[in-house]
Chains A and B, each alone.
Chain A
């Protein structure tokens, strides 16, 4: 992956961190303003964390209407790798690119803390390079991170091996400890934890690297 686009909505705040993580892995990353409608030329798209459009109404509910989201949908439909981190995951579910929804944490407080993730599927652009059952220390930072979906959707996620990361110890009440999921094709992934915050032992953990290295290694599926 040579060129990654990091989408910036008004209210996004992890866009520079995403760029920094990509640069750490030797990839060029550029900020893409939410009014952009053409994503050709990018090899991968990241929807970063933050509070797109102030999280007004509910997280992601307004961002799904930003012009860039039609382009993200086309990019994903063409097999392009798309990664939604935290608020980006919320946007992807609101936009219908991933199933289910994120609701408020079970304790009804914001949580910023390290979590231990367990890799449960390699069938995604985020986890292809990780080992099944590999444990990764990656921080969470959210108020609405409790994944939920109806039973049919849940069964589909299981049947298609779309649950890619689970919490070892569930911090937020997420259904089946889900921390991250992929679409059926595996090219669109959303997760609540922040792998870009776990790129260096200086900052506490480098366990996010294996995830973002997988993403950077991903190619646009034919």
Chain B
């Protein structure tokens, strides 16, 4: 039997936090109340270790309609259309049960988007696994990909891109991030706010079960008993990873959007982490009102659920809508059409006055609306007032030795031909399993620099604009220098958007880091946030949302810092596709952007894929060179935007230089176009394989005209060679038949996965 004193620890609350709760309430919390604080003050819900640092990010801009802190960030994309975007992680569930973990990750992020009144239009999935030579990793990849495919395709939202990274640091802790974008007529924007005393809180969607109950495993092991009935939690009812039902979610999406179209909803909030307690306390806190919740009114999937379970269950496919009582019949009828359950579970009530005369909205959990009060706590204290921590930070003492072990000056062994072939992997096996075309918007789908969509969808005003999306991360850079590595990741995202003619408008981020109790991890997180802030300020980008995933560690070993940067861009006029990776015979090939990196090494190989493949994880990376980046990014964006708008252009191909460096980019373009190219001698391995963003390979059918425009824009251009023949030749270092590149890139992933073809 646990005493109340040890119960709070079992719920993940520190002794100080327990003291804070007693101060808030002015009394001892009962077990149910303590459990509510346990989930709401968890790292997952409260961002208590990261929030202090996140405040350093720039979050505003004239086009930002909703910034961080809401369910999704929203920008004004023009033509009366607002675009909502969010990114999240579903790392830990996916490690345990890859199919359901990934599937429910998709389901959760969709709800964050249609909560804002937006129809979800596209999903992207950055995925990180260990090396595929390990059978468990192959199992994880197949499970995660089929989970995304199974849920996303069925729910009817196209998956238009992502990332696929293999590195041993993810072997025990894979990362499954998911980004979703949606669009809405600007005037339909709704927020998760409870308002209007007497209004109803209606729970929509699935019944509530015991799945995914936060911390219950802890509770169960604590084996406590109490008057709130938690005694009944035993091993036989241990929670499982949440199970997704895309058919339920599809009907829920349609019902919610129809409710919003008909003006029947005043505020709406999805149920995600921490379930009903999170949704009710957050909506009440934002509206500065109180809310009564009747636990007996919540439809339950399993018998004998106790209030604690009902309030914290993470059962999927549920939403909480705030409606006026007179609209209840209309809401019920519309939900019945879509076969969506709708139950009044809460009522908005007047705030109470505290001792100092301040209005305080109380969340009251009741046994029947007029029944016994089981819990009575200030909603704001749950939602917003978790303690913030400035955890100890320390630059790892081992880092200097790592930086000194620089592969850049190594005498390369083996041939550049083999090195290049080794780097080429086509992710098509993954994205072929995703519906990437639904809604007839996909101009550039998965597998390219960035995805490009028409800005259109059911119920949206007419527009000829496009939106572009990319997700970028480079944990190898960030392991060496989290600040500069993150800044460069932002730059790479902007470069990807430039390749489809889109001007970057907003950033979202998913910060995947290790254990925040390790000072080195907190240092990485803090540095990474500073790097993101620096890049966003330099490139005029607001950060409009994010997610922090900590505790990505196993056996005491943290993952490499993995900030994933999601970029949202806009193309003002999209009537023709951007050129892509395929060039024409006789076209000139140029490198746009600086030839040499700013920093210690002109062609740094630290953190490059080339070095990592050779087991070299040390060295220095390039600096963040805002001065040369901006004009280069602007120039390429404008060159491609002209083509998207239907204009004439001599540009026939564009690809940003990223993983695998110039050699990797050329290899991918050769594979895409099945045509050869002859390039001048580059400065050995460094220039071939060095990775720093802000450089592009472009092809032009009129070199003189292109050079003139570049010069007028003050952008550096190096003429590399000419597109001809059936071989990829780079000076005396690379000479490969096109066919060999095509086949190697096409088959690499399926061969590694041992897929039977």
Mask, B150-182, CB within 8 Å of A = 1, is 100111100000000000000000000000000
Residues on A with C-beta less than 8 A from B433 are 109-112
In the bound complex, what is the Cα–Cα distance between A157 and B575 (angstroms)? 42
Mask, B299-314, CB within 8 Å of A = 1, is 0000000000000000
| Size band of the interface chain B makes with A | 35 or more
Least CB distance from B577 to A in Å reads: 6
Would you call A197 an interface residue if the criterion is a C-beta within 8 Å of the partner chain's C-beta atoms? yes
In the bound complex, what is the Cα–Cα distance between A56 and B339 (angstroms)? 15
In the bound complex, what is the Cα–Cα distance between A141 and B432 (angstroms)? 9
- Contact assessment for A112 and B247 in the assembled complex, using a CB-CB cutoff below 8 Å: no
- Contact assessment for B153 and A17 in the assembled complex, using a CB-CB cutoff below 8 Å: no
In the bound complex, what is the Cα–Cα distance between A17 and B149 (angstroms)? 20
Q: Which of A13, A50, A141, A200 counts the most B-chain CB atoms under 10 A from its CB?
A: A13
Question: Which stretch from B33-41, B59-67, B436-444, B585-593 is at the chain A interface?
Answer: B436-444
Q: In chain B between 297 and 340, which residues have their CB closer than 8 angstroms to a CB of chain A?
A: 337-339
With A110-B433, A112-B434 as contacts: A54 and B577 at CB distance below 8 Å: no
Residues on A with C-beta less than 8 A from B575 are 202
Would you call A20 an interface residue if the criterion is a C-beta within 8 Å of the partner chain's C-beta atoms? yes
- Contact assessment for B247 and A53 in the assembled complex, using a CB-CB cutoff below 8 Å: yes
- Contact assessment for B440 and A112 in the assembled complex, using a CB-CB cutoff below 8 Å: no
In the bound complex, what is the Cα–Cα distance between A50 and B441 (angstroms)? 17
Mask, A41-74, CB within 8 Å of B = 1, is 0000000001101111000000000000000000
Residues on B with C-beta less than 8 A from A113 are 432
Closest to A50 in B: B156
Least CB distance from A86 to B in Å reads: 10
Least CB distance from B750 to A in Å reads: 10
- Contact assessment for A196 and B440 in the assembled complex, using a CB-CB cutoff below 8 Å: yes
With A10-B338, A13-B438, A199-B440 as contacts: A110 and B250 at CB distance below 8 Å: no
Q: Which of B153, B339, B440, B457 counts the most A-chain CB atoms under 10 A from its CB?
A: B440
Residues on A with C-beta less than 8 A from B155 are 13
Least CB distance from B149 to A in Å reads: 5
In the bound complex, what is the Cα–Cα distance between A111 and B574 (angstroms)? 28
With A13-B156, A17-B440, A50-B156 as contacts: A112 and B250 at CB distance below 8 Å: no
Residues on B with C-beta less than 8 A from A109 are 146, 149, 432-433
In the bound complex, what is the Cα–Cα distance between A194 and B153 (angstroms)? 15
Would you call A14 an interface residue if the criterion is a C-beta within 8 Å of the partner chain's C-beta atoms? yes
With A10-B247, A54-B154 as contacts: A111 and B432 at CB distance below 8 Å: yes
Would you call A11 an interface residue if the criterion is a C-beta within 8 Å of the partner chain's C-beta atoms? yes
Residues of A in contact, count (CB < 8 Å): 33
Would you call A222 an interface residue if the criterion is a C-beta within 8 Å of the partner chain's C-beta atoms? no
Residues on B with C-beta less than 8 A from A16 are 439, 457-458
Closest to B438 in A: A13
- Contact assessment for B437 and A203 in the assembled complex, using a CB-CB cutoff below 8 Å: yes
Least CB distance from A118 to B in Å reads: 22
Q: In chain A between 92 and 130, which residues have their CB closer than 8 angstroms to a CB of chain B?
A: 107, 109-113
The contact of B154 among A14, A51, A197, by CB within 8 Å, is: A51
Mask, B249-284, CB within 8 Å of A = 1, is 011000000000000000000000000000000000
Residues on A with C-beta less than 8 A from B435 are 110, 112, 141
In the bound complex, what is the Cα–Cα distance between A199 and B155 (angstroms)? 23
Residues on A with C-beta less than 8 A from B437 are 112, 139, 141, 194, 197, 203
- Contact assessment for A51 and B247 in the assembled complex, using a CB-CB cutoff below 8 Å: yes
In the bound complex, what is the Cα–Cα distance between A122 and B173 (angstroms)? 55
Closest to A141 in B: B435
List the count of A-B residue pairs having beta carbons below 8 Å apart: 88
- Contact assessment for B146 and A51 in the assembled complex, using a CB-CB cutoff below 8 Å: no
In the bound complex, what is the Cα–Cα distance between A105 and B153 (angstroms)? 16
Least CB distance from B447 to A in Å reads: 11
Least CB distance from A205 to B in Å reads: 11
Mask, B550-592, CB within 8 Å of A = 1, is 0000000000000000000000001111000000000000000
Residues on B with C-beta less than 8 A from A50 are 156
Closest to B436 in A: A112
Would you call B454 an interface residue if the criterion is a C-beta within 8 Å of the partner chain's C-beta atoms? yes
Least CB distance from B619 to A in Å reads: 39
With A53-B247, A203-B437, A203-B442 as contacts: A112 and B154 at CB distance below 8 Å: no
Residues on A with C-beta less than 8 A from B351 are none
Would you call B246 an interface residue if the criterion is a C-beta within 8 Å of the partner chain's C-beta atoms? yes
Least CB distance from B268 to A in Å reads: 21
Residues on B with C-beta less than 8 A from A194 are 437
Residues on B with C-beta less than 8 A from A21 are 440
With A196-B440, A202-B454, A203-B443 as contacts: A10 and B434 at CB distance below 8 Å: no
In the bound complex, what is the Cα–Cα distance between A57 and B216 (angstroms)? 34
Least CB distance from A156 to B in Å reads: 33
Least CB distance from B160 to A in Å reads: 11
In the bound complex, what is the Cα–Cα distance between A54 and B251 (angstroms)? 10
Least CB distance from A85 to B in Å reads: 12
The contact of B577 among A20, A197, A202, by CB within 8 Å, is: A202
Mask, A169-212, CB within 8 Å of B = 1, is 00000000000000000000000001011011111100000000
With A10-B338, A51-B154, A111-B433 as contacts: A203 and B247 at CB distance below 8 Å: no
Closest to B142 in A: A109
Residues on A with C-beta less than 8 A from B153 are 51, 110, 112, 141, 143
Residues on B with C-beta less than 8 A from A11 are 154, 247, 250-251
Residues on B with C-beta less than 8 A from A143 are 153
Residues on B with C-beta less than 8 A from A112 are 153, 431-437
In the bound complex, what is the Cα–Cα distance between A110 and B247 (angstroms)? 17
Closest to A112 in B: B435
- Contact assessment for B247 and A20 in the assembled complex, using a CB-CB cutoff below 8 Å: no
Residues on A with C-beta less than 8 A from B250 are 10-11, 13, 51, 54
The contact of A110 among B149, B337, B454, B574, by CB within 8 Å, is: B149
Q: Assuming A10-B339, A110-B149, what are 18 further A-B pairs, CB within 8 angstroms? A: A10-B250, A13-B438, A21-B440, A50-B156, A53-B247, A54-B245, A54-B246, A54-B250, A110-B150, A112-B435, A112-B437, A194-B437, A197-B437, A200-B440, A203-B440, A203-B441, A203-B442, A204-B577
Pairs A–B under 8 Å by Cβ, sample size 19: A10-B247, A10-B250, A10-B339, A14-B438, A20-B440, A50-B156, A51-B246, A54-B245, A54-B246, A110-B435, A112-B436, A113-B432, A141-B153, A143-B153, A194-B437, A197-B437, A199-B440, A201-B577, A203-B443
The 8 closest A-B pairs by CB, nearest first: A54-B247, A13-B156, A51-B154, A16-B458, A110-B433, A110-B149, A17-B440, A112-B435
